[in-house]
Structure 1
């Protein structure tokens, strides 16, 4: 489909470099999303309930909240990719991640229900990106007052996931 090396900064806000750069340049988008699915499910299944509810500092999210944040963010970025790939030029607004997490009730859910939702969302994203052509993944729309292409959105999803898993490994375990 498209590799990370093909995605150029005019397709996204430079803020997202911190996520996109997490994916090796020679990695295909569909490969990045599929490997993320496999890794994240395995990673979360290896955590105890105590670890899943840990906050490394006051006000920080638990790993369960991080997982639901990944799910919510993927839904939003996939929606943006869908709109732009269908040639919708309507500027899309941003979202407040902390408000989403605060009202998510992630800590009251089982890890199996969260992982089931995560896998469903990821499989839907894989289907969406698989359906796009080399031309439609390059269409640039506007989200959060910045440019965004569908392929950049896909690599943001993949890199955002890697970013948060690295933080969990570094600060929680």
Structure 2
């Protein structure tokens, strides 16, 4: 299950990306029109939590139907200023390690189990556990490039 190794590697990459940033630096917006580093971190944790829930549903039910998140929901800023970066990083690590442990407890073919995501339009998209893991693994790398940009703008090593 190589995808799980890549999925788990994201925890170290995320922690490294935010290493040494003060709370003020995390909340700063050094790149105009872009999220703060803290907003990126919270978005990544929220997205991981959502995907982990879908993976669990696919593993325990036969093609469950779940509402797909809209772009607005996926970028909603849920109390970013009230959240703690260390707690978010720990939660991210816990979500990923627990999800990987659950997936590994199933036979390899469980990666092909599916969840049906229903969009607000009524359209349906089917995701396998493998696809969900692949998408969320790539999601971190996509956003870490923006964190590096913020670090450079703040005069921090990227």
**TM tier, smaller:** 0.7 to 0.9
Count of residues paired in the alignment: 146
Unaligned runs of 5+ in 2: 119-123, 153-158
Higher relative contact order (CA 8 A, sep 6+): 1
Q: Is the 8 A contact 1:69 1:97 kept in 2?
A: no
- When residues 102 and 42 of structure 1 are mapped into structure 2, their CA distance, relative to the original with a 3 A threshold, is same
Moved over 4 A (4+): 99-103
- What root-mean-square deviation, in Å, do the aligned CA atoms of Structure 1 and Structure 2 show? 2.1
TM-score norm. by structure 1 comes to 0.73
Deviations 1:121-170 (A, max 9, x none): 22222222222321111123311421100011111111101111012213
Rounded Cα–Cα distance in structure 1 between residues aligned with 2:17 and 2:9? 12
Q: Which residue of 2 aligns with 1:107?
A: 81
Rounded Cα–Cα distance in structure 1 between residues aligned with 2:36 and 2:13? 19
Unaligned runs of 5+ in 1: 2-27
Name the stretch that deviates more: 96-105 or 117-126. Answer: 96-105
The Cα shift of 1:57 comes to: 2.6
Q: Which residue of 1 aligns with 2:66?
A: 92
Deviations 1:72-92 (A, max 9, x none): 111111111121222432321
Matched, 1:54 2:28: yes
Rounded Cα–Cα distance in structure 1 between residues aligned with 2:88 and 2:115? 31
By percentage of residues, which structure has more strand?
A: 2
Q: Which residue of 1 aligns with 2:146?
A: 167
